[in-house]
Structure formats: C-alpha cells, structure tokens
A and B are shown apart, each in its own frame.
Chain A
Amino acid sequence: MNTKINFAGIEMKNPVTVASGTFGYGREYSDFFDLGELGGIITKGTSLKPRSGNKPPRVCETASGMLNSIGLQNPGVEYFAQNDLPFLKKFDTAIIVNACGSSIDEYVDLCKILNTLDIDGVELNLSCPNVKAGCMAFGNTYDGVKQVTSAVRKVLDKPLIVKLTPNVTDIASIAKAVEDAGADGVSLINTLLGMKIDIDKQKPVLANNTGGLSGPAIKPVAVRMVYQVAQAVNIPILGMGGIVNGDDAIEFMLAGAKAISIGAGNFIDPYTSVNTVKGIESYMNRHKIEDINDIVGKVKMN
C-alpha cells in the first residue's frame, strides 16, 4: 500500500498534515505522539515581526465547531527560526510555514527570510479573517491574490502554497489567480466569518465581535469548495475544514484534494491527526486501493 504523495514538490509520507493555528509549532502535541507520523506540519501563522494578537475573549464554542479571533499572535520569524524550527527538524515530517503579513512588502520581506531557512515550503496566508490589514483583504479578490502571490513568487524558490478564504463569491476564480501567479498549490478553506451573540449581555461573545468558524460545522462547505477549485486549476489542493477522521479525509480527497489538514479536530483529541492516517489506510484496505494518489478527484458526480 502506498500512502506517499508529492504535494507541490514536497514529499510527504502520507497526505495528512495539521492546519496552521491548530498545532502551534508542534511542541505541545509532541507530548502525545511522534510528529514524524504526519505527512507534514503547517506552522502557526508567522509574521516578519512578533504580533500580540486580539483582545480576549478570542474563542467560543458553536454547534459542531468553534469561532476564533486570535489575531495571528506569534513570536515572529526570527524567533521561529532560532527556537521552533530546530525543534521541528528533529522529526521526519515536512515543515511548511504559514506566512502572514499586513502589506505586500511585508509578505515579500518575510518570504525572503523563509527562503533561507531549512523548511519544505511556505503556505501564504491570504485568508485570516481576524486582522484589520492584509490577509483576507488581499485574499478576497483575483487581483489582490495575484499581486501578492506574484510578488512572493519572485523571491521564493521553495514550494509555494496559497491558503484561500471561503468568504468570497467565487473561490474557483481566486484559485485561478494563485495558479496564474505561479504558485505550486492551493490550500482551502480557511475559516468562515461568523458571529455569536450572548443574549443576556446582548453583545457578541468575541471581543473582536466576529471570528472564524471552524470544525465539522463547515465541512460540507469546504468539500464543495475543494471540488469547485479542483475543476478550475491544475495545481494540487490541500483540503481542510472540519476533518476529524479518515473518512472525512477521504471525502476531501475524492473531491479533489491531494493532501488534507486537520484543524480544530486537533483540539478535541490530540490523536485526531494520527488516527486520520490510520483511518485512511483502513479505507484503502476496505476498498482495495493500492495507491492513495489514485483516489484524488475521483468522485463520480450524479
């Protein structure tokens, strides 16, 4: 049985990665399992300079999911390079850094540094809904996405994946911008913008009023978008949104994702990602599939 994939030039032992912002820089989950069991780790969104993030409350539970408005709190790329990367390098897994910025210059300067680090690829974050400048502000138009992606492409030799927001009218056209700008892959979906109101206080629960919805609640939306993007582009898709087991992962792969990420599913069970690897293998056994690559995009539409 073969579970190895090559995603956008990155060799992975299996198609299971962990999504940015749900796995930190790996340390906490390394208490529970060998991170080398994963195909790849996508780091917490990392910026050129440290960011302190949004005011609390930053998270709340919703039906089969949660809202978050962390605001990209992170220690900055320099700290990452010195403290977190050496730790992650101890494990036999692909390391992909989620890169975020407030301006094109910032994305470019950050990616110039990332290009010099011993990492396997960059996931460009054009989709965080919780910060005022940058990110989703670029990510919700074809031109915005193409502009940032092209600028980064010029300074980054490593595999470049662009993470898309679902908070757009036509995600396929946004994915096309990623491909047209020369990126190697797309990842989707980031969180859906949502809001929860405390009816006793008559105020939103989150201090930022709105936040990004994740968890199984968003899975059908994510599967649909992965399918749509798969019809529109030829670059590989990293699919995510509410995956909590192998069956969910297979659904995304049938829809067109070559690799998948576990996001909020990490929070409910620290073993969700490794169990998803096992779940995929068990599906392959059940369906006598020799090579996991054979099921990518193989959904038979009605």
Chain B
Amino acid sequence: MPVDIKAKLIEKKELIPGIFKFSVNAKEIVQTAKPGHFIEIRVNDDIEPFLRRPISIHNMDINSGKLEFIFQVKGKGTEILSKKKVGDLIDIIGPLGNGTFKYEKYENIAIIGGGIGVFPLYELAKNAKNDGKKVYTYLGFRNKDLVVLEEEFTNVSTSLTLTTDDGSYSQKGFAIDFLKKDIEDGKIDSIFACGPLPMLKAVRNLAIEKGIPCQISLEERMGCGLGVCLGCAVKTANSPEEAPQYVHVCKAGPVFDAGYVEI
C-alpha cells in the first residue's frame, strides 16, 4: 500500500553530468517495496510545476530504510529536484505499481537495460543474485560518456556485458545482440528489460521468437501515478484495433509480461 512521506535526503551524487543519485530515508516505503516499483515525487509545495514526477526505485536497504533513486535532469521538475540539499525533506509517494519484476521461479535470468532504463534493474539484479540465481546482465549505452553503474552492476551479476553503440567503451554494438547469443547457447531461461522503446520492442520480439518468458518495465506520461486518472494507458496485445483494451502503467504495471502489452 502506498504512503505519502517526507523523506530526508541523506546523500546526493551526480553520477555523470545531469544524472543524479539520491539516497533518502524512506523506511515506510522500503518495508513493502519490491523490485520494479516506482515512486512519485512532488518537487516543491507550489502549483508549478504541477504534477508529481514518477521515478523508478534503484536500490533499497530494508534494514536502514534507505531508498535510492536515480534521475536525469530533463525539465523544470527534475531541475528543481536536482537542487535539493542533503538534509532537505522530499515529498514522496510509494511504493507505486502492482506489476513488479517476478524472477523467483527462474534460475538463469537475463537482465537487459539501455541508457537511463538501467536504474530500476539494479534492485532486481541484487535480489536475484542474493537468492542464488544466475544473473546475466546486459547494459547498453550510446557512448563512453553515458556509461553509469558499471561497478554496481558487476557486483550483483554473474556476468556483466556492457556495450556502447559507437564502441567508445567496452563492447561495440547493441546489448541485445549479446543476449541473443547467450540465449542461443542455452544459458537463459527468462528476460527482464527496461530501456528505450526501440530496445524494448526488439527484446520483446526476441523473447517471443525464442519462446523465453520476458518482463518489461514501461514508461508513459502519468497524471496521478495511483490508477485514478487513467492517463498512462497502454493497449493490450490481444485486443483488436477497433475495440482496444487499455491497462495502465501506474496500476497494472510498470512491469508487464512482454506479450501482454502492445508497445
């Protein structure tokens, strides 16, 4: 059940220019949150900017109540958020969503992320690794300057494949090509993905082609984040164009079985 809290900012770090990691005290949220859940942040007490900002949960520590989230400064809201100082209180609602990453019944899981979509995959990888799963992680970035969290993911993965589109760092190419090879080698029994839409589409198609269960975390413009306004709609894959059925990213998601939704 979501709660609305004022969480104290205890640590703040700019990972690369424009991308911030915030650590906050959020015991009430951490107690019930699962990998894949998200939070909604009100960046000030004003009516401008108006809406809350939905942000994924990156990492949690149940013992200390620490919650970490990473965001990119993209507009007014995230700009204001990035200026918060250690000690400031941040208005957060969470955990939100009902669709979370469900990895428990698999043993050899592939985690694939692209760009800023890699953030919520960390909590998943960490949990799965702790539960004794084999965690094959594939992270793709456009170039060397945009690579983040390499060490963190190395620590929670059985193996980490890091790619850059232009080859300026680590492997050249797309993360999905490396995933594909490992699937063909029989190493993978499930796929968990978050990233830009073209990547998610490719992963979804690959999973369907190879007959491997796949869960994807989606983004959509949100109003309330609670399932009330019905703004963040995504069409179900089996409903026809002329009679579309919609589910909502904030309520049914943000994580969906890849075959369930049309992306």
Chain A residues near B (Cβ < 8 Å): 21-24, 28-29, 31-32, 44, 52-66, 68, 70, 73, 205, 215-216, 244, 264, 266-271
Contacts and interface: CB of A to CB of B under 8 A. Distances in A.
Given A28-B228, A59-B229, A267 B47 contact: no
Contacts of B4: 32, 269-271
Interface in B1-37: 1-4
B246 A53 contact: yes
A156 to B, nearest CB: 26
Contacts of B229: 21-22, 59, 68, 70, 267
- Chain A interface SS verdict (over half): loop
Given A68-B223, A73-B246, A63 B42 contact: no
B156 interface: no
Interface in B104-149: none
B244 A63 contact: no
Contact of B42 (A62, A64, A269): A269
Given A61-B51, A73-B246, 5 more contacts: A28-B228, A56-B233, A266-B224, A268-B50, A270-B93
A60 B221 contact: yes
B32 to A, nearest CB: 12
Interface of B: 1-4, 42, 47-52, 91, 93, 220-235, 239, 243-246
A267 B244 contact: no
A59 B50 contact: no
A68 B228 CA distance: 13
Nearest to A25: B228
Contact of A59 (B47, B93, B221, B243): B221
A66 B228 contact: no
7 nearest A-B residue pairs (beta carbon):
A59-B231, A24-B228, A267-B224, A28-B226, A59-B223, A56-B233, A216-B47
B223 A66 contact: yes
Contacts of A268: 42, 47, 50-52
A32 B228 CA distance: 13
A31 B223 contact: no
Q: State the main secondary structure of chain B at its contact with A.
A: loop
B42 A61 contact: no
B197 to A, nearest CB: 12
A205 B234 CA distance: 16
A35 to B, nearest CB: 13
B232 A56 contact: yes
A215 B228 contact: no
Contacts of A53: 230, 233, 246
A58 B223 CA distance: 9
B74 to A, nearest CB: 12
Given A32-B4, A68-B229, A70-B230, A57 B220 contact: yes
A223 B192 CA distance: 50
Indicate the member of A24, A29, A62 with the most B CB atoms within 10 Å: A24
Contacts of B224: 22, 28, 266-267
Most chain-A Cβ atoms within 10 A of its Cβ — which of B225, B234, B246? B246
B228 A59 contact: no
A142 B145 CA distance: 62
B4 to A, nearest CB: 6
B234 A56 contact: yes
A237 to B, nearest CB: 23
A31 B1 contact: yes
Contacts of A271: 4
Nearest to B77: A61
Contact of A215 (B42, B47, B234): B47
Given A31-B2, A56-B220, A215 B50 contact: yes
Given A32-B4, A68-B231, A270-B226, A52 B47 contact: no
Contacts of A244: 47
B218 to A, nearest CB: 11
Contacts of A44: 230
Q: In this complex, which of B221, B227, B229, B232 has the most chain A Cβ atoms within 10 angstroms of its Cβ?
A: B229
Contacts of B2: 31-32
Nearest to B239: A52
Contact of A52 (B220, B226, B245): B245
Contacts of A60: 221
A63 B48 contact: yes
